[in-house]
Structure formats: C-alpha cells, structure tokens
Amino acid sequence: MNKRQLLQTIFATSALSFGLVAGAQTMTPIKFQLDWRFEGPAALFLHPAAKGYFKAAGLDVAVDAGNGSGGTVTRVASGAYDMGFADLAALMEFHANNPDAPNKPVAVMMVYNNTPASVMALKKSGITKPADLTGKKLGAPVFDAGRRAFPVFAKANNIGAVNWTTMDPALRETMLMRGDIDAITGFTFTSLLNLEARGAKAADIVVLAYPDYGVKLYGNVIVASPKLLKENPAAVKAFLAAFAKGAKEVMANPAVAIESVKARDGIIDSKLETRRLQLAIDTVINTPDARTEGFGNINAGRMALMASQVSDAFNTKTRVSPDAVWNGTLLPTTAELNILKK
C-alpha cells in the first residue's frame, strides 16, 4: 500500500468512525416505566423494542418493570422516567391532588380503551351480581385500580357499604381461595389467571367486570413528561408510531410476541402469559369501544364524564380537568393506528 492509499484508508476509517459516533449521538434516550411486572401485556412494549422499531425511529428506549400505576405516574412526574404506562384514573388523581406540581405527566395515547378492573369471587360465596357485594369483605392492595375506582362501580350498581382488607398483591388471590375474604378487585387478566394457577376452575369464578356493569372508565394510557413534550415532541411522536407498529404485530401473533417478555424474565410461563396477553387484547384493547373511537384515541364526552367520576370517587383536592391530562396531537396517522381486527 503506497502513502496515498494509506491516507485514503485512514480518512475513510475516520469518516466511518465519526459517522458512527454522530449516529449514536442522534439517538434520543427514553426511560420508560411499565405499570406492572414483565407479564403478558408487557409484550406491547417489549416486542417493538426487541424488533428494533424504537431504534429505527432514532430512540434508545429502556423499558423497566413497574409496581403499580400510581408509582409510574409519580416517577414520571419526578423526572426519573421520561414516559410510562399507567391507569388513566391514577393519572387524573395525581393531577387533581397535586395542582401545583411542576411536571405533571400527560396522557398521549389510549391503549386500554376499557378499564381491566373487575370484582372477582368464587361461586360458593353466593355472589353472582354487584348487589350481592353489600356487607361483604373485599380485598385488594390499597393502590389497586379496581379498589380505587370501586366507589364509581358501587354508585352505578347501588352497592351498600363493604369492608376492605388490605394485603400485598401476591396474597390477594391466595386469601380469596382460603376464604379469608369474599371477593377481590383487580385487573381481570391478572387475577383470573392467578386464581386458576392456585387451583380454581374457570367455571367456579364469578367475574363482575366494571365495563359490563355501567362503568365505562378508560384504562391504561401511555404518559409522557411535560418536559419531554416541550423539548422533544418529535421523540414522543416517533415513540408512538413505533409502538403502534409493534402493537399490531403483538395482536396478530401473541405467542410470538411473548418471546420478548421471556427474554426479559426467563422464569415466566410462556403459555400462561400468552393467555394473559390474549385476554387483555380481547377485553380491553380490541373492544367495540376501541373500534368505534379508533385505537389510541379517546371520546371527549366520555373523557369528561370519567374526569367527573374520578373527582367524586377519589374525593380529590381539585376537580380533574380532562384537557390537562390528555394531549392527542402527537398520535400516529389514521393509517398507522388502523391495527384492530374487526
């Protein structure tokens, strides 16, 4: 190799190295907090990450497990996370109880168009309808979304006073099976399968799903920090488009999508978590309401009603402002959001 060729090689290598460094610098880091552990529904976020859809959009997304929607909202508000996945009611409650907080997260995309919350009991308890819950002993963690929204469910179904028992999430279904409590609240796709795993037969479980009994609350949304929305709205828009692309594949083939969850938590039961994911898709994602409103979107009237219901049920310091908690301006195109099977 002569001197000229050597210099050309050095310059080419330097240019390539500079390009790689520059490319790395253009990647926008996004810290994302889930609402719960690495279970079936987490595939909605882990699959597009594993497939490289976020990276292709110029985002370096780190997805972490969570321990409840309230915690997710708080961590995004604190700046520890840029975005997250949380129950809309928890987000509304945070806004109304912290009116002076400088960094209140904002919902930017609807994912669970219907709340997954339900009351579950065993048939031997004699509970078959909401009215049967009056005077009964109900159990749930204090932060459980179903427990927090129970006043809305109770009002809609004329349920009298109930007695609450608080426990760690891991003990909820066990205590119901032991007969320590009469019923529990929780996400249907979580507690139903947990009960089966503890020996209950599906035919012996009574599920009183909130949407089936007059409670049309929205469920989980993708939230973003106001700081990120202000400083880099393009990153949020890119995240939502990549998420929608991945979500379409997740719904088309849940069994394959679960592999992304297994990669993050090797001890999960893939068969069980595929069932959990499919149940979530069928009950809260690909619902008649979602198909009417469009995946990712909301109905303004329904949002306003929920804001009023949450204000009353949670007895918030201030009234929830639906305009303050929702920003749908960065949603993907109608074509990109056309991902629900008819």
Same domain, 223 and 294: yes
CA–CA separation, 74 and 87 (whole Å): 12
Number of domains in the chain: 2
Structure tokens at 26: 């253009």
Averaged pLDDT for residues 61-86: 96
Q: Which of 280, 131, 113, 95 is nearest to 208 (CA)?
A: 131
CA–CA separation, 281 and 29 (whole Å): 29
Same domain, 141 and 192: yes
Check residue 313 and give its pLDDT. Answer: 87
Same domain, 75 and 166: no
* Contact indicator for 279, 43 with CB cutoff of 8 Å: no
Is residue 187 one of the residues assigned to a domain? yes
pLDDT in tens, 251-299: 999 999 999 999 999 999 999 999 999 999 999 999 999 999 999 999 9
In this prediction, residue 330 has a pLDDT band, given cuts at 50, 70 and 90, of very high
Check residue 298 and give its pLDDT. Answer: 98
Averaged pLDDT for residues 223-248: 98
Q: Which of 302, 270, 292 is nearest to 342 (CA)?
A: 292
Averaged pLDDT for residues 63-86: 96
Same domain, 148 and 90: no
Choice among 6-20, 41-55, 225-239, 243-257 with the minimum mean pLDDT: 6-20
| Amino acid (1-letter code) at residue 135 | G
What is the domain range of residue 179? 117-213
In this prediction, residue 26 has a pLDDT band, given cuts at 50, 70 and 90, of confident
Same domain, 226 and 301: yes
Same domain, 87 and 230: yes
* Contact indicator for 108, 294 with CB cutoff of 8 Å: no
Q: Which of 243, 268, 187 is nearest to 32 (CA)?
A: 243
Q: pTM for this one? A: 0.90
Coil vs helix vs strand at 261? helix
pLDDT score of 51 more than 50 = yes
CB burial readout 109-125, b (16+ within 10 A) else e:
bbbbbbbbbbbbbbeeb
Same domain, 103 and 133: no
Same domain, 246 and 187: no
Is residue 49 one of the residues assigned to a domain? yes
Start-end of H helices in 157-225: 172-178, 188-197
Check residue 25 and give its pLDDT. Answer: 54
Last residue of a domain, one of 162, 188, 213: 213
Same domain, 232 and 96: yes
Q: What are phi and psi of 176, to 5 degrees?
A: -70, -45
Same domain, 122 and 260: no
Say which CATH number the domain at 305 has: 3.40.190.10
Name, in order, each residue with C-beta under 8 angstroms of 74's C-beta and a sequence gap of 6 or more: 94
Is residue 255 one of the residues assigned to a domain? yes
